[in-house]
Amino acid sequence: MRVTLQISADVDGVVTSHALARAGSWLAGVFLSATIVIAAILIPLTGRLELFVALLGLIVVGVGVVFALRTPAFVRALLYTLIACAGLYVYAMVAAEVSVTIDGPTPSSDFVLLSMPEFAVLVVGISARSLARSLVLGTLGFVAGPGPVQVAAWQQGMPLALDVPVVASYVALGLFVCALWIGRRDAARGTAVMSGAALAEERDVALSRFSTRASSWLNDTVLADLRSLSVSEPGRLAPEHLQAIDRDLANLADVRLILDGPGESSSSRKLAKVPLLVSLVRDGEQKGLRVRVGGDLDAVNSLSLGVGRALDRALAECLDNVVQHSGVLEAEISVMSSPPELSVMVSDAGVGFDVDTTSDDTIGLRMTVIDSIVEVGGTVQIWSRPGAGTAIFVTVPAVTA
């Protein structure tokens, strides 16, 4: 059984802020677009070309609102909000001046052409990352937006009137962001509780799995060795018995063999039964080398003590050569058993070398690998060329001790 912790919650509000920024941009765009269409229609009807300045002011409002909604920096959001409010004031001055010159009753300061762009400015705070920032930006948009619009309308001779829809929208947006942040706070608390419970469950499962595997591993190693010792004849232990004990002691020192998952357990435990290869792999890993081992691994345990030591020295030198000269940090050891011989090939996909040379790169191979293997009756073949990697094929007699 395996528990995976996957609890998704927008605790930091990043996703929500982006969604609200898009929604606010669309909402502001709707009000500004409607105002631009009406103002553009008034240009040919009234012949007042200064309305083009009003249109530019509305564009500044739109740009300022969008940037204020989308920037994560609070100071920049304040600056963009003030820019949007400045554009709104320019628009209000021109629109109010044109409105009072049109035949008919003089409109008041809550005139629809003045109110619609005010709604666009009110949304600047809805995407802020904290409740305080959201309220500050929203209040700034309300004070520096509709407030100067009222001043502009008064300066152009419009009678002042409370713009109830704008005030109601400001209050509604304030309540909305408060409710949003209260909900986000509750979600964060709930997520913390769920995360703690999930972590506790995962920890319990991991401890149970480790305990089960450790018990099984202990029974397969220590208890099995003790039972074997209890029925052995007094005197010196047989070499194969000593090898088995050495192998189990090496395995007990590597907790990874217990922690391996189901997919890795088989290959790891197969390697763990071969102390010679386990030692080589560990030494290689300490040097940063990744060593893949495959083939008839159990056959290595059939080597005599002298042949095993010679093979160990040779393979260690081969892996050192990979680390120092190949230019790669991956090697592969393949074991092939064909009694009465055992063959081991160490290969890499590194830079390779010219086998016929006697440079420093090959001295270790020639003296340590070849000489040590030849001394125990084995043979060594080396295949390599520049740019094509290296393969060293070692064959030793597989005679049981």
pLDDT digits 0-9 by tens, 250-274: 666 555 555 554 444 445 566 767 7
Alpha carbon 260 to chain centroid distance?
A: 23
pLDDT of residue 117: 92
Q: Contact at 8 Å (CB) between 359 and 304?
A: no
Does 59 have pLDDT greater than 90? yes
Burial of 215 (0-12, 13-18, 19+ CB in 10 A): exposed
Confidence of residue 395 (pLDDT cuts 50, 70, 90): very high
Contacts 24+ apart (CB under 8 A), 127-132: 127/17, 127/18, 127/20, 127/21, 127/24, 127/69, 127/70, 128/17, 128/74, 128/77, 128/177, 129/12, 129/13, 129/14, 129/17, 129/72, 130/181, 131/177, 131/178, 131/181
Q: What φ, ψ does residue 137 adopt, rounded to 5°? A: -65, -40
Average pLDDT, the chain: 80
Residue 286 in contact with residue 341, Cβ under 8 Å? no
Model confidence over 225-240: pLDDT tens digits?
A: 666 666 566 777 666 6
The residue-averaged pLDDT of 208-233 equals 65
345 three-state secondary structure: strand
Q: What's the pLDDT score for residue 249?
A: 66
Query: What is the average per-residue pLDDT within 152-174?
Result: 89
Is residue 12 very low, low, confident or very high in pLDDT (cuts 50, 70, 90)? low
Number of other CB atoms surrounding residue 8 within 10 Å: 7
Q: How far, in Å, are 6, 59, 204, 213 from residue 207 at the CA level?
A: 20, 63, 5, 10
- Residues 315 and 333: beta-carbon distance below 8 Å: yes
Residue 172 to residue 169: CA distance in whole angstroms? 5
Which of 7-11, 51-55, 255-259 shows the lowest per-residue confidence on average (mean pLDDT)? 7-11
- Binning the chain into helix, strand and coil, the percentages to the nearest 5 are 70, 10, 25
Judge whether residue 355 has pLDDT over 80. Answer: no
Whole-number Å distance between alpha carbons of 380 and 304? 18
Q: How far apart are CA 275 and CA 300, in angstroms?
A: 9
Q: Are strands 379-384 and 390-397 parallel, antiparallel or unpaired?
A: antiparallel
Nearest to 309 by CA among 298, 300, 322: 300
